[in-house]
Amino acid sequence: MNRFELKKTSKKSKARLGVLHTDHGDIQTPIFMPVGTEATVKAVTPAQLKEDIKAQIILANTYHLYLRPTTPKIAAAGGIHKFMSWNGPVLTDSGGFQVWSLKELRKIKPEGVEFRSILDGSKHFFSPASVMNAQREIGADIIMALDECTPYPSTVKEAEHSLNYTLRWTAEAMEWLKEHPPIHGYDQQFFGIIQGGMHTHLRKQAIERIAELGPDGYAMGGLSVGEPTETMYEIADFCTDYLPTDHPRYVMGVGTPWNLLELIGRGVDMFDCVMPTRNARNGMLFTSEGVLRYKAARHAEEYDKPVDPNCDCYCCRNFSRAYLRHLHHAGESLGYTLASIHNLHFYLHLMQEAKDHLADDTFEEWAKAKCEVLQRNLE
């Protein structure tokens, strides 16, 4: 059963409005998903995610949860929603990217991936079935097929070899799911991952083969892995020409606020990235006026100036740039929390603005002007 409703497609671009229905709530797309790798979004509470950030869905990571606390323990707790006290939708990625990135600790085989734990060096093996079982135990609303992230650059031969693993594993995962229903009393939707490197004929082949399997949604993997930004846009744009229009489309691990707006215009519905929280902890904030580096000395006496005068997040309503800079230099954890709240709120507010402009047919003009402003470096 398809649980995605396409509400509107722009006449000027491929930008779309939609609703993805899950048993833990509806997700209005386009949407950004805060990353909660280990069943927590760094530095913020579930209450802050819901009340101030207005997150509709968050992402957790199968690889990390498999290693710690282990997925049987999450299952024993009643699933990830109860475990982390978050009652909204959750998406788990397969862990394929994390395993792929640990080049010295893994060995890829046709049956799956052998790897060593980053925690204690112990040996483990991910197969399509074991990854699906782990995600059944975690209990996310959206679960992902095991895939191999194709590196950049890659030759056609290398990308094709990698893609064949992903296609095989996706088919095996779906077969396993047919025999093993969800265990926590609610539905889990399955997304296949489109790989193929920067080779359009392989991307098209991946879409055709995975579409034959009938997943609930499609993710575009292997983007933002070192390729030029324009190449990322071109590959996503190519993929959305061939992806089914009545299913959600997700670009994994992307990106800056302007990346998101550019990709929305190319027909993408869902995004995730660690950038809002990671950059917040490192002193970079996104604002309606451009990029702000709040740890700079020039902000030390800005006692009456919020991070963003046009933002109504908890941080901007209550605290100054001077205070945020002080917390950062003092190493106080409150600084990381306030900065993270701001950046995540900014991303979710930007997605709501995009939806509003899509609804009144002004998205393209607004997005073009917005992208120029967002990339400014504030002095």
- What's the pLDDT band for 1 if we cut at 50, 70, 90? confident
Sign of the dihedral defined by the CA atoms of residues 263, 265, 266, 272, in that order: positive
Residue 222 assigned as binding residue: yes
Residue 66 CA to residue 331 CA, distance in Å, equals 31
Catalytic hit among 141, 216, 269, 272: 272
| Other residues' Cβ atoms within 10 Å of the Cβ of residue 286 | 26
Residue 313 assigned as binding residue: yes
| Other residues' Cβ atoms within 10 Å of the Cβ of residue 118 | 13
Predicted pLDDT at 95 = 80
pLDDT, tens digit, 9 for 90 and up, residues 17-49: 999 999 999 999 999 999 999 999 999 999 999
pLDDT, tens digit, 9 for 90 and up, residues 209-233: 999 999 999 999 999 999 999 999 9
Mean pLDDT of 343-365: 98
Contact 355, 268 (CB under 8 A): no
Active site residue 93: yes
- What's the pLDDT band for 105 if we cut at 50, 70, 90? confident
Catalytic hit among 52, 93, 141, 308: 93
Residue 97 assigned as binding residue: yes
pLDDT, tens digit, 9 for 90 and up, residues 297-318: 999 999 999 999 999 999 999 9
Contact 316, 306 (CB under 8 A): yes
pLDDT over 80 (residue 97): no
Residue 107 CA to residue 47 CA, distance in Å, equals 40
pLDDT over 80 (residue 366): yes
Q: Which domains does the chain have, with CATH numbers?
A: 4-272 (3.20.20.105), 280-374 (no CATH)
Tokens 């679960």 belong to 143
Pairing relation of β-strands 290-293 and 284-287?
Answer: antiparallel
- What's the pLDDT band for 106 if we cut at 50, 70, 90? confident
Predicted pLDDT at 94 = 86
Mean pLDDT of 77-103: 90
| Other residues' Cβ atoms within 10 Å of the Cβ of residue 249 | 28
Residue 273 assigned as binding residue: no
pLDDT over 80 (residue 100): no
pLDDT, tens digit, 9 for 90 and up, residues 109-164: 999 999 889 899 999 999 999 999 999 999 999 999 999 999 899 999 999 999 99
Active site residue 269: no
Residue 195 assigned as binding residue: yes
Residue 311 assigned as binding residue: yes
Residue 315 assigned as binding residue: no
Residue 192 assigned as binding residue: no
